[in-house]
């Protein structure tokens, strides 16, 4: 009932094999969607940039969405971005121009990516995450609801310095990351933290302003009090490339 061919499509749109497009969706010029992807209803893909409203000779930049992607309903993705394969979104996502995402990334319902941002592979943004311009996010970074990344140290100003987040770090619910902050690899940012200083690899930080509490490897597992839970890759594999073989084995094969 979702796919009645009631959508609009622009010029030079390239649709892969078996792509399904929901009712009420609009796909603008120069969008490319990989094989076996689903674009649900009422989405806008390749939303024209601001120039569109005033420049009669406006040409829409290219937008690429990888194979096996699933864009849920009412999402708006601006032109001039590139998403890898197995890209997924929730509903009502807004993603501005010049966003680059690797493979296997997901962006939750209501999340808002301001563009000019870069993500590695296997990043997961949950619902209602706000990513500022110039943010640089590594691989396997998970960001939880109501986290905001910021980029202007003296608002309002012309300075725009996005935060950097290293591989495997977990930025948990309601944290605020200040402009230009560098969060290392394997960090855990506790809920409600305001991160005003750089964070070393393997640190748990918490509070307002956030202070280092301990090394994440000191945090015990809920299920086995003798075992450290972090690095989490040994304890979590849903959707991860090491599913079924374990992280250690995957790293060996990969290298």
CA atoms within 13 A on the CB side of 254: 9
* Interface residues toward a copy of itself, by CB under 8 A: 1-2, 8, 10, 23-24, 26, 28-29, 38, 41-42, 44, 47-48, 52-53, 70, 73-74, 76, 90-92, 94, 109-110, 112, 114, 124, 127-128, 130, 142, 144-146, 148, 150, 153-159, 170, 172-174, 176, 178, 188, 191-192, 194, 207-208, 219, 221-223, 229-230, 232, 235-236, 238
To the nearest whole angstrom, how small is the minimum distance from the Cβ of residue 80 to a copy of itself? 16
To the nearest whole angstrom, how small is the minimum distance from the Cβ of residue 67 to a copy of itself? 14
Write down the residue that tokens 């972090």 correspond to.
230
Phi then psi dihedrals of residue 227, to 5 deg: -105, 140
Considering the complex, state which of residue 13 and residue 82 has its C-beta at the smaller distance from a copy of itself: 13
Considering the complex, state which of residue 239 and residue 252 has its C-beta at the smaller distance from a copy of itself: 239
Considering the complex, state which of residue 57 and residue 255 has its C-beta at the smaller distance from a copy of itself: 57
To the nearest whole angstrom, how small is the minimum distance from the Cβ of residue 103 to a copy of itself? 18
- Residues 32 and 60: beta-carbon distance below 8 Å: no
Considering the complex, state which of residue 83 and residue 142 has its C-beta at the smaller distance from a copy of itself: 142
* Residue (of 31, 19, 102, 109) closest to 68 by Cα position: 19
Write down the residue that tokens 């770090």 correspond to.
169
Considering the complex, state which of residue 15 and residue 219 has its C-beta at the smaller distance from a copy of itself: 219
To the nearest whole angstrom, how small is the minimum distance from the Cβ of residue 189 to a copy of itself? 10
Considering the complex, state which of residue 152 and residue 255 has its C-beta at the smaller distance from a copy of itself: 152
To the nearest whole angstrom, how small is the minimum distance from the Cβ of residue 112 to a copy of itself? 5
- Residues 46 and 28: beta-carbon distance below 8 Å: yes
């Amino acid at each position: 009932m979702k796919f009645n061919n009631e959508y609009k499509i622009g010029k030079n749109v390239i649709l892969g094999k078996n792509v399904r497009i929901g009712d009420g969706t609009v796909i603008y010029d120069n969008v490319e969607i990989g094989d076996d992807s689903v674009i649900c209803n009422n989405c806008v893909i390749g939303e024209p940039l601001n120039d569109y409203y005033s420049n009669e000779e406006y040409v829409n930049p290219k937008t690429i969405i990888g194979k096996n992607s699933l864009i849920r309903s009412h999402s708006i993705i601006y032109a001039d971005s590139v998403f890898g394969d197995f890209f997924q979104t929730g509903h009502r996502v807004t993603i501005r121009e010049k966003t680059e995402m690797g493979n296997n990334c997901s962006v939750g319902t209501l999340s808002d990516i301001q563009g000019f941002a870069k993500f590695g592979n296997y990043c997961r943004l949950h619902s209602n995450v706000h990513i500022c311009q110039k943010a640089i996010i590594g691989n396997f970074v998970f960001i939880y609801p109501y986290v905001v990344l910021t980029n202007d140290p003296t608002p309002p100003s012309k300075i725009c310095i996005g935060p950097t987040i290293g591989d495997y770090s977990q930025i948990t619910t309601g944290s605020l990351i200040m402009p230009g902050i560098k969060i290392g690899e394997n960090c855990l940012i506790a809920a409600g933290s305001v991160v005003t200083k750089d964070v070393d690899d393997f640190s748990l930080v918490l509070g307002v302003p956030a202070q280092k509490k301990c090394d994440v490897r000191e945090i015990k597992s809920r299920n086995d009090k003798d075992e450290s839970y972090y690095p989490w890759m040994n304890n979590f594999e849903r959707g991860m490339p090491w599913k079924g073989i374990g992280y250690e084995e995957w790293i060996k094969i990969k290298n």
